[in-house]
Structure 1
Amino acid sequence: MLERSPDLDFLYYSNDMIGAGGLLHLIDQGIDIPGQIGLAGFNNVELLQGLPRQLATMDACRNEIGQAAARIILNQAQPEPDPEMQTQITLTPTLSLGDTLRRRRQG
């Protein structure tokens, strides 16, 4: 991608595992992150905490979604489901800025 578009200044990966591969490849190529190019992934995979730089990522609340879904399913499977139990839940994704994004300088 960088050969085709050398002025590219940001890559947003569909998930953190692919983002980690991109980060390691760019570091191996001697590319300044985030000076030359910024990177971000998606899903906030904790396994990647040991990377040379902390990848910026969006936590889409996958764990919380799974837990809430399990509670709803278990409730509905009961002979007498709790009618008060919420079946519609709002979760808020969070952005972890990491070390792979350029920041505006305050001044």
Structure 2
Amino acid sequence: MFILRSPSRIMQFTQDLLAPAAMAAGAAMVVAPVIVAGPALAVAGFGAGGIAAGSAAAGVHSGIGSVVAGSAFATLQSAGAGGVGLAVVNGVVQAAGVVVSAGGIAAKL
């Protein structure tokens, strides 16, 4: 087992293993954002049939009452149903993928 005993070993571990993983994960997020957005929306409770009963989304919805058009909640609801909001959510995931990849690249420097 690889034991991290010193700061230099930690840095080497980061450069050798974690940085390439971050670059690959970030690239995957940019190329296919739905691999992150779809499951994340489903776990939160935003689905094709609307908000799932007993989910986090249902709890937030009951707390805010009426959903204002164009709000973040409305966008997530639209994304979960495969509507126009999905383009927005995918764009956010792609931007996050760029940041994750950049972090991996920076760690290799």
TM-score, L = length of structure 1: 0.27
User: If each structure's strand is expressed as a fraction of its own residues, which one has the higher value?
Assistant: 1
User: If each structure's helix is expressed as a fraction of its own residues, which one has the higher value?
Assistant: 2
Structure showing greater Rg:
1
TM-score, L = length of structure 2: 0.27
